C-alpha cells in the first residue's frame, strides 16, 4: 500500500501547539504489524482534551489523535488478522501514545485489535465507540450488585451528565437492563431526548449541585457518574446501602469532597471505571453484548456525522458541554 491518505496531525514545539490536516503515507508509522483502512472514528471528551493541547496524555510529536476506530485490514504481518478482516479498537492508549483513528489509514499492534462482531456494522461500532464501551462497563459494574447481594434486584439508578456520550448511552443501556433511570442534565431542552432513551425521571443538574451532606436520603441502588466533583459527592451521599457508584468521568471536577460515612455506614462501593486498559477477554465480552442493549435506530437520530475538517471546528463544543448524543467521524469524506 503506497497510497497517500489524510490525517489530523498534532505538533508541539516549546509552547507552540498546532493541529492540522496533512497528507501522509505509511512511512509515518514506526510501529505496529497491522495496517488498517479506517472507516469511522468518534469524538469523545478525551479526544477533545487531546485536540486542544495534548491533554497531558501525548508524549511524542508529531502525533495522530483519535482514541477509537473501526475499519478493515489492508496489510498484516500478524497470524491473527488477514487482509479484509473488519476490526475495532477502543482504548489501549491508541490516540494517546500510539497513532489513533483520526486518519484514513492507521497502523497498530495486533494484540490491541479486536475483530468486529458480525451483528454490528462498522458505522454502528463507532456510533457506540469509546463512550458506549465505557457505558457498558459502568452498567455491568452496577449489575454486579445483584451478584454481591445474592440476587437482590437493582431498581433505581442515577446517571449524571446524561446528555453526553457516556451519559446518554448509559441511560439507554440501564433502562434496557430493566432499571428505573433518573437522568441528570442542565439542558431543559433535552428532556424528551432522555425520555426517548429510556429515562423514567429527569432532574436538573442544579439539584445535584446543592450543598452536600455526608449522608442524605437513600435514593439510588446504583449511579453512573461522568461529572466528578460535588455532583459525584452528592450522588454518593444519596446511594442506598450496598449500592455501587461507577465513576467514569471528570467533566465537572477531578476533585472529590466526601467522607468515609457512606462507605462504612451504608457499605456504598465506589467503583472506578477504566475503559483504557481493559483485558482483551473483557473487551470481547463487552462488544459481544452490544446488540442486547443498544437501539441504534434511536441513537443514530442523535448522532452528528462530521469529516476531519469539521471535527477541528466542533471539538471545543464537547468541552463546553454543548454536544448532546454522539459525534461520528466519517473518514471516507
- Whether 136 contacts 272, CB under 8 Å: no
Of 250, 272, 294, the one marking the end of a domain is: 272
Q: Which residue segment(s) compose the domain that 42 sits in?
A: 5-116+302-330
According to DSSP, the residues that pair with 136 across neighbouring strands are none
Q: Angle at CA 246, nearest 5°, toward 150 and 288?
A: 75
Same domain? 67 vs 153: no
Q: What is the CATH number of the domain that holds 75?
A: 3.90.180.10
Tens of pLDDT, residue by residue over 16-51, are 999 999 999 999 999 999 999 999 999 999 999 999
DSSP one-letter code for 116: P
Q: Would you tell me how many other CB atoms lie within 10 Å of the CB of residue 308?
A: 19
- How confident is the model at residue 102, as a pLDDT? 98
Of 251, 272, 293, the one marking the end of a domain is: 272
Flag whether 109 is in a domain.
yes
Same domain? 136 vs 111: no
Same domain? 174 vs 264: yes
The C-alpha cell that represents 92 in the structure block: 489501549
Lateral strand order in the sheet of 201-204: 201-204, 180-185, 156-159, 220-225, 239-247, 269-272
Give the whole-angstrom CA distance, residue 310 versus residue 238.
41
Give the whole-angstrom CA distance, residue 188 versus residue 321.
13
- How confident is the model at residue 212, as a pLDDT? 84
Flag whether 121 is in a domain.
no
CA torsion 161-245-284-29 (nearest 10°) is 60
Phi and psi torsions of 74, nearest 5°? -115, -20
Tens of pLDDT, residue by residue over 259-297, are 999 999 999 999 999 999 999 999 999 999 999 999 999
As a three-state string, the secondary structure of 317-332 is HHHCCCCCCEEEEECC
- pTM comes to 0.92
Same domain? 228 vs 158: yes
What lies within 8 Å, CB to CB, of 203 at 6+ separation is: 182, 183, 184
The C-alpha cell that represents 285 in the structure block: 465480552
Same domain? 99 vs 151: no
Same domain? 105 vs 143: no
- How confident is the model at residue 1, as a pLDDT? 65
Same domain? 153 vs 266: yes
Same domain? 103 vs 150: no
Flag whether 281 is in a domain.
no
Flag whether 235 is in a domain.
yes
Flag whether 122 is in a domain.
no
- How confident is the model at residue 262, as a pLDDT? 96
- How confident is the model at residue 146, as a pLDDT? 87
Q: What is the CATH number of the domain that holds 146?
A: 3.40.50.720
Flag whether 31 is in a domain.
yes
Give the whole-angstrom CA distance, residue 191 versus residue 48.
25
Give the whole-angstrom CA distance, residue 175 versus residue 41.
26
Same domain? 160 vs 268: yes
**Which H or E run contains 182?**
strand 180-185
State how far the alpha carbon of 84 is from the alpha carbons of 25, 76, 113, 117, 164, in Å: 20, 10, 14, 14, 34
Same domain? 108 vs 45: yes
Same domain? 54 vs 167: no
Of 232, 252, 272, the one marking the end of a domain is: 272
Q: Report, as ranges of residue numbers, the positions in the chain whose pLDDT lies below 50.
A: none
Helix, strand, coil percentages for the chain (3-state, nearest 5)? 35, 30, 40
Flag whether 139 is in a domain.
yes
DSSP string, 262-321: HHHHS--EEEE--SSS--HHHHHHHHHTHHHH--HHHHHHTEEEE-HHHHHHHHHHHHTT
Instruction: Give the chain's domain count.
Output: 2
Flag whether 295 is in a domain.
no
- How confident is the model at residue 210, as a pLDDT? 84
DSSP string, 117-163: PTTS-HHHHHHHHHHHHHHHHHHHHHHHHHHHTTTPPP-EEEESSTT
At 247 the three-state DSSP class reads strand
Same domain? 52 vs 86: yes
Amino acid at each position: 500500500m503506497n497510497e497517500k491518505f489524510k490525517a489530523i496531525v498534532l505538533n508541539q514545539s516549546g509552547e507552540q501547539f498546532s493541529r492540522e490536516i496533512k497528507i501522509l503515507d505509511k512511512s509515518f508509522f514506526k510501529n505496529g504489524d497491522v495496517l488498517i483502512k479506517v472507516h469511522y472514528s468518534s469524538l469523545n471528551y478525551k479526544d477533545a482534551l487531546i485536540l486542544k493541547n495534548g491533554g497531558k496524555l501525548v508524549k511524542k510529536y508529531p502525533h495522530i489523535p483519535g482514541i477509537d476506530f473501526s475499519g478493515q485490514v489492508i496489510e498484516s504481518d500478524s497470524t491473527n488478522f488477514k487482509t479484509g478482516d473488519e476490526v475495532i479498537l477502543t482504548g489501549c492508549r491508541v490516540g494517546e501514545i500510539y497513532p489513533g483513528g483520526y486518519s484514513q489509514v492507521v497502523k497498530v499492534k495486533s494484540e490491541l485489535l479486536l475483530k468486529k462482531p458480525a451483528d454490528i456494522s462498522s458505522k454502528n461500532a463507532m456510533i457506540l465507540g469509546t463512550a458506549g464501551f465505557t457505558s457498558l462497563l459502568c452498567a455491568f459494574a452496577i449489575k454486579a450488585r445483584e451478584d454481591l447481594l445474592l440476587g437482590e434486584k437493582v431498581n433505581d439508578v442515577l446517571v449524571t451528565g446524561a446528555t453526553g456520550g457516556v451519559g446518554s448511552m448509559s441511560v439507554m443501556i440501564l433502562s434496557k437492563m430493566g432499571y428505573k433511570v433518573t437522568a441528570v442534565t442542565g439542558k431543559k431542552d433535552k428532556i424528551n431526548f432522555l425520555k426517548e432513551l429510556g429515562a423514567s425521571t429527569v432532574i436538573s443538574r442544579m439539584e445535584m449541585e446543592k450543598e452536600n451532606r455526608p449522608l442524605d436520603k437513600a435514593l439510588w441502588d446504583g449511579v453512573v457518574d461522568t461529572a466528578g466533583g460535588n455532583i459525584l459527592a452528592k450522588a454518593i451521599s444519596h446511594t442506598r446501602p450496598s449500592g455501587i457508584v461507577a465513576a467514569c468521568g471528570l467533566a465537572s471536577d477531578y476533585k472529590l469532597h466526601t467522607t468515609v460515612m457512606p462507605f462504612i455506614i451504608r457499605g456504598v462501593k465506589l467503583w472506578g471505571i477504566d475503559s483504557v486498559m481493559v483485558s482483551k477477554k473483557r473487551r470481547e465480552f463487552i462488544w459481544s453484548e452490544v446488540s442486547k442493549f443498544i437501539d441504534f435506530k434511536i441513537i443514530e437520530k442523535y448522532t452528528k456525522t462530521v469529516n476531519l475538517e469539521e471535527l477541528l471546528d466542533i471539538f471545543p463544543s464537547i468541552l463546553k458541554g454543548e454536544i448532546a448524543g454522539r459525534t461520528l467521524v466519517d473518514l471516507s469524506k
